[in-house]
């Protein structure tokens, strides 16, 4: 026999019902919000440029370690360059290029490429399109 105590059964029924209602509410709001969303690409570009490469320092550190630089040393190089860039209101690239020793590991052109945000989009466009298509199909079916 697979019997059980019904002590919690009413709580379980109410909890599941409320969870379903909440999920419906959240999805309804999400659809309303997402359907009206607009992305200001110019503002996104300005925000990325305002970072002056500081947001991409990890990519440089990873590349330096791939090229044989000790991880702690790479971290310290980037930490110091980042602090200088912030203090001087300059770019991370400018400050990294001031460190002549760094150029024995990586060329200026390679650093420039590592610090371009557009190089990190990956499959973002394709994934967004798939999600948008899925949402449209789901909304139209529902």
Same-domain pairing of 46 and 114: yes
Which domain CATH number covers 106? Answer: 1.10.40.30
Same-domain pairing of 26 and 96: no
Same-domain pairing of 63 and 80: yes
Same-domain pairing of 27 and 97: no
Same-domain pairing of 12 and 52: no
- Is residue 113 within 8 Å of 73, Cβ to Cβ? no
Same-domain pairing of 18 and 58: no
Q: Comparing 142 with 126, which gets the higher pLDDT?
A: 126
Same-domain pairing of 77 and 110: yes
Q: What is the model's pLDDT at position 142?
A: 63
137 burial type by CB count under 10 A (0-12 exposed, 13-18 middle, 19+ buried): exposed
Helices and strands (H and E) in the chain: how many: 7, 0
Which residues, 6+ apart, have CB-to-CB distance to 88 below 8 Å?
A: 95
Q: What is the model's pLDDT at position 53?
A: 95
Same-domain pairing of 29 and 59: no
What are the phi and psi torsion angles at 42 (to 5°)? Answer: -65, -40
Could you tell me if residue 25 is inside a domain?
Answer: yes
pLDDT > 90: percent of the chain: 64
Q: What is the model's pLDDT at position 99?
A: 81
The answer for 8, left when phi > 0, alpha when psi is -120 to 50, beta otherwise, is alpha
Same-domain pairing of 4 and 74: no
Q: What is the model's pLDDT at position 14?
A: 77
Could you tell me if residue 137 is inside a domain?
Answer: no
In the three-class reduction of DSSP (H, G, I as helix; E, B as strand; rest coil), residue 115 is classed as coil
Cα–Cα distance, 79 to 93 (Å, whole number): 13
Same-domain pairing of 89 and 19: no
Confidence of residue 102 (pLDDT cuts 50, 70, 90): confident
Could you tell me if residue 52 is inside a domain?
Answer: yes
Across 102-126, average pLDDT: 91
Number of domains in the chain: 2
Cα–Cα distance, 73 to 16 (Å, whole number): 53
Same-domain pairing of 33 and 50: no
Q: What is the pLDDT of residues 5-58, one digit of tens each?
A: 767 677 777 788 899 999 999 999 998 888 888 889 999 999 999 999 999 999
> Is the per-residue pLDDT at 116 higher than 60?
yes
What are the phi and psi torsion angles at 121 (to 5°)? Answer: -80, -30
Q: Comparing 102 with 65, which gets the higher pLDDT?
A: 65
Q: Can you give the residue range of the structural domain that contains 85?
A: 42-120
Across 78-92, average pLDDT: 96
Same-domain pairing of 33 and 46: no
Q: What is the model's pLDDT at position 37?
A: 86
Could you tell me if residue 70 is inside a domain?
Answer: yes
Q: What is the model's pLDDT at position 1?
A: 54
Average pLDDT, the chain: 90
Could you tell me if residue 104 is inside a domain?
Answer: yes
């Amino acid at each position: 026999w697979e019997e059980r105590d019904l002590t919690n059964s009413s709580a379980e029924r109410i909890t599941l019902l409320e969870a379903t209602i909440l999920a419906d509410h959240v999805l309804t709001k999400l659809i309303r919000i997402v359907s009206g969303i607009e992305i200001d690409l110019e503002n996104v570009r300005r925000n990325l440029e305002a970072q002056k490469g500081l947001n991409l320092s990890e990519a440089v550190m990873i590349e330096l370690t791939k090229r044989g630089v000790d991880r702690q040393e790479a971290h310290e190089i980037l930490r110091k360059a980042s602090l200088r860039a912030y203090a001087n209101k300059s770019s991370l690239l400018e400050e990294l290029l001031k460190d002549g020793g760094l150029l024995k590991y990586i060329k200026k052109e390679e650093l420039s490429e590592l610090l371009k945000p557009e190089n990190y989009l990956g499959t973002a466009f394709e994934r967004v399109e798939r999600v948008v298509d899925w949402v449209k199909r789901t909304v139209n079916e529902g």
